[in-house]
Amino acid sequence: MPTLVTPRNTIEILQKYNFMFQKKFGQNFLIDTHVLDKIIRSAEVTKDDCILEIGPGIGTMTQYLAESAGRVIAVEIDANLIPILKETLAGYDNVTVLHGDILKTDIQKLTEEYNGGRPVKVVANLPYYITTPIIMNLLEGSAPVENITVMVQKEVADRMQTGPGSKDYGALSLAVQYYAEPYIVANVPPNCFMPRPNVGSAVIRLTKRKEPPVQVSDPDLMFRLIRASFNQRRKTLLNGLSNAAELPFSREEVAAALEELGLAAAVRGETLTLAQFAALAEKLGRRRRR
């Protein structure tokens, strides 16, 4: 089977199977070898690696991964692509294709079955409508994941990497940076895909941290504070946190905690660092326990 990455070969295989793109699955297939090479290089794929690929599509990137990795587990949600993948990946005995929804897949079980429980590397051209749930599932879950190298909407990649004060800074930035070190590998224009998406894309690598960059006794409380502070960006942190239905703190408690941290009553959540949110969670948590 020739490599699929050229537009001509991609069109041929799609026509052969009368494949219809499904908008609900956000399908955009890569047709650029340079981008594929960058993804493989930045994921640092070697013959010692087991790769989990999410959404292999027609197998374009899967072929590249199979050449470089020891084993590839590809999870595809669209049943119409399974027969195509059987053909395009027939020459690779180190690839296993599974039909399923990655958000309902037991990744821990997959690592045990196919990689002896050792960490896997995740590589994917992610459907943009479901990028955040997939990434947070991989970061927050207990499955051993070494790094995640994914194609996402450029705006989302910017959000994951940015720091306080930026308009892109928000709950996603803080959550990703708590669990991983983000690095944008490359920006990718729409003409690298078939069909062309309406937005720019980017390849981002998330290297999972062994230890979080901040110590906090109740991470769940910290993330509730973060979500509440960004739910209404225009509000001050004092108003946002004291009015949040999911938080049990009074206005006086929030004001006192902010004052103890040397933060002004008019401060907004978008100016706080992860360390400051952790410190705020500690202060408010202690007040509640008292």
pLDDT tens for 132-169 read 999 999 999 989 999 999 999 999 999 999 999 888 99
Domain co-membership, 193 together with 234: no
Domain co-membership, 51 together with 151: yes
Asked if residues 61 and 41 have their Cβ atoms less than 8 Å apart, the reply is: no
1 assigned to some structural domain = no
Q: Across residues 38-58, what is the average pLDDT?
A: 96
Inter-axis angle of helices 219-231 and 171-179, nearest 10 = 160
Listed in sequence order, the residues at least 6 apart from 106 whose beta carbon sits closer than 8 Å to its beta carbon are: none
Structural domain that includes position 182: 7-208
Q: In what order do the strands lie in the sheet with 145-153?
A: 95-99, 71-76, 50-54, 120-125, 145-153, 201-208, 180-188
Q: Which residue has the higher pLDDT, 20 or 228?
A: 228
Which of 208, 233, 253 is where one domain is finished?
208
- CA of 259: how far to CAs of 237, 238, 251, 281, in Å? 12, 11, 12, 14
Count of structural domains within the chain = 2
The dihedrals phi and psi of 45, each to the nearest 5 degrees, come to -75, 130
pLDDT at 35 over 80: yes
Which of 144, 175, 208 is where one domain is finished?
208
Render pLDDT for 194-220 as a digit per residue (tens, 0 to 9). 888 889 999 999 999 999 999 999 999
Q: Is the peptide bond before 212 cis (omega within 30 degrees of 0)?
A: no
213 assigned to some structural domain = no
Paired tokens of 260: 């103890």
Domain co-membership, 122 together with 239: no
Which of 179, 208, 237 is where one domain is finished?
208
Give the percent of the chain with pLDDT over 90.
Answer: 78
74 assigned to some structural domain = yes
Render pLDDT for 101-139 as a digit per residue (tens, 0 to 9). 999 999 999 999 999 999 999 999 998 888 999 999 999
Render pLDDT for 64-98 as a digit per residue (tens, 0 to 9). 999 999 999 999 999 999 999 999 999 999 999 99
